[in-house]
Amino acid sequence: MSGLSRRGVLGLAGAGVAAVGIGAAAGVLASGEPAPAPRGPDPSAPVPFRGQHQAGIITPAQDRMHFVAFDVTTRDRGALVELLREWTAAAERMTAGREAAEGGAVGGSRQAPPADTGEALDLPASALTLTIGFGPSLFDDRFGLADRRPEALVDLPHFRGDDLDAKRGGGDICVQACANDPQVAVHAIRNLARIGFGKVAVRWSQLGFGRTSSTSTAQATPRNLFGFKDGTNNLKAEDPAALAEHVWVTEGPRWMVGGTYLVARRIRMHIEIWDRTSLAEQEDIVGRAKGSGAPLGQTAEFDPVDLHVRGAGGVPLIPDDSHIRLASAESLGGARILRRGYNFTDGSDGLGHLDAGLFFVCFNRDSRKQFIPMQQALSAHDRMMEYLEHTGSGHFACPPGLAEGRFWGDDLFG
């Protein structure tokens, strides 16, 4: 059944548009004209599934995400490897804008349930990326992987103020689905979960409705639910030297070289309390002006943060307990991370408040030297913590990208 192949034509057209778009933007900049608001690549085009690194890390951050963590329920190593092979095939198809299986939605036997769940028919690839990671618990005695656990894949320590819900953390395997259409992201996770029944079970999952980071200089900086531009100083795809230093793994087991470590934190924001806080205090807590995003003491968003400027009475303009000071590379011995988080609202809390916040996702080369010291500094001193509650947590090793013919985890299990 080929009549209903999903969105191939649209995808190709989109890719062309994207190339033109980037060229045009570069031309404007080169000619010295004022740059237009940065826009990312075409939002419906497919993103290549295979490559040196997994997609969904330095890919320009898509607008939506669906993140899932699985427990492996089978004890059969061969069955798990076979599942990873099946997942890879389905993931490659879906990221190209196709059904999870050929003719999957309506092309099969009328007496059988369709092999693809169908809700993404007629939708373009929407820049879907599927990124896999392996959690610390996978490296126990079930699959003989104990000696393959990277030293960097530690169990995250308790951070001050953590209020973690066991039903929102951990997991043997994670898959991050990002797309510019939420239905495309959910479709991908739903179909992977379905393929996995009997071998894996969904442990927890999280939807994100809006990106809070830009991972490319072609993207404008989005705002988080506190109303502030978030991730201005993020690592960007256009800076390969910084990515090599802070994101891509070069040491440890061979199966991780070229990979990276993912940390996920579900951070509930007490937005109602925040909304009653004066603008001056909000800006002091963040360390940036709310409107422009400029660091306090500077005038424009991308002005370098200057931690050494003091105002009347010698009081630092960027307070000692402000978020950007504590999270700055200067305060952390040069440590940086690639942030790729999403705003979420999971309904309400039953007390008249939105259950809203930031689903924080970051990628780093060694969480022991980057994310963990950063979060230790923030949880201990960041005045913003007053408005935050960390309710979910996960740490995963994301292997490098796949060459043709390879499948997820084949180096790990091989």
Partner 1 sequence: MTARPLRACLTGVAALVTLTACGDSGAAPGGAGGPIAVQAKDDACGVARAEADAGTITFEVTNGGSRVTEFYLYGEGDRIMGEVENITPGLTRKLIVEVADGGKYQTSCRPGMTGDGIRAEFTVKGAAARQADANTQLGEATKGYQRYVNAQVEPLQTKTAEFVAAVKAGKVDEAKALFPVARTYWERIEPVAESFGDLDPRIDAREADLEPGQEFTGFHRLEKDLWVSGLRADSGKVADQLQTDVTEIVNRAKTVELTPLQLANGAKELLDEVATGKITGEEDTFSHTDLWDFQANVEGSKAAVAALRPVVEGRDAALAKTIDERFAAVQSLLDKQRAGDGFKLYTDLSAAEVKAFAEAVDALGEPISKVAEVVAQK
Question: By the criterion CB under 8 A, which residues form the site for partner 1?
Answer: 157-158, 160-163, 270, 272-273, 276-278, 280-281, 283-284, 289, 291-292, 294, 296-299, 303, 306, 308-315, 317, 319, 350-353, 376, 379-380, 383, 385-386
Q: How far is the CB of 389 from partner 1 (least distance, A)?
A: 8
Q: How far is the CB of 267 from partner 1 (least distance, A)?
A: 14
Contacts of 20 (CB under 8 A, 6+ apart): none
Q: How far apart are CA 45 and CA 42, in angstroms?
A: 6
In this structure, the number of other CB atoms found within 10 A of the CB of residue 370 comes to 25
Q: What is the CA angle 352-355-360, rounded to 5?
A: 160
Question: Which helix (H) or strand (E) segment is 8 a member of?
Answer: helix 8-30
- Looking at the Cβ atoms of 197 and 302, the one nearer to partner 1 is 302
- Looking at the Cβ atoms of 73 and 379, the one nearer to partner 1 is 379
Q: How far is the CB of 123 from partner 1 (least distance, A)?
A: 40
- Looking at the Cβ atoms of 162 and 239, the one nearer to partner 1 is 162
- Looking at the Cβ atoms of 247 and 296, the one nearer to partner 1 is 296
Q: How far is the CB of 103 from partner 1 (least distance, A)?
A: 50
Tell me the longest C-alpha to C-alpha distance in the chain. 79
Q: How far apart are CA 395 and CA 376, in angstroms?
A: 15
Residues in the chain: 414
Residue position matching structure tokens 């090793």: 397
Q: How far is the CB of 310 from partner 1 (least distance, A)?
A: 4
Burial of 296 (0-12, 13-18, 19+ CB in 10 A): buried
- Looking at the Cβ atoms of 177 and 305, the one nearer to partner 1 is 305
Q: How far is the CB of 308 from partner 1 (least distance, A)?
A: 4
Q: How far is the CB of 164 from partner 1 (least distance, A)?
A: 10
- Looking at the Cβ atoms of 3 and 347, the one nearer to partner 1 is 347
Residue position matching structure tokens 């630092």: 316
Q: How far is the CB of 269 from partner 1 (least distance, A)?
A: 11
CA-based radius of gyration for the chain: 22
- Looking at the Cβ atoms of 52 and 292, the one nearer to partner 1 is 292
Q: How far apart are CA 362 and CA 261, in angstroms?
A: 8
- Looking at the Cβ atoms of 43 and 392, the one nearer to partner 1 is 392
Bridge partners of 208, per DSSP, are 65
Q: How far is the CB of 157 from partner 1 (least distance, A)?
A: 6
- 210-211/260-269 β-pairing: unpaired
Q: How far apart are CA 173 and CA 171, in angstroms?
A: 6
Enter the DSSP assignment of 25. Answer: H
- Looking at the Cβ atoms of 157 and 240, the one nearer to partner 1 is 157
Contacts of 83 (CB under 8 A, 6+ apart): 74, 195, 196, 199, 200
Cα distances (angstroms) measured from residue 185 to each of 125, 192, 217: 10, 11, 24
Residue position matching structure tokens 């909304």: 275
- Looking at the Cβ atoms of 99 and 283, the one nearer to partner 1 is 283
In this structure, the number of other CB atoms found within 10 A of the CB of residue 340 comes to 31
- Looking at the Cβ atoms of 250 and 292, the one nearer to partner 1 is 292
Q: How far is the CB of 232 from partner 1 (least distance, A)?
A: 14
- Structure tokens that stand for 117 in this block: 């769940």
Q: How far is the CB of 326 from partner 1 (least distance, A)?
A: 14
Burial of 315 (0-12, 13-18, 19+ CB in 10 A): exposed
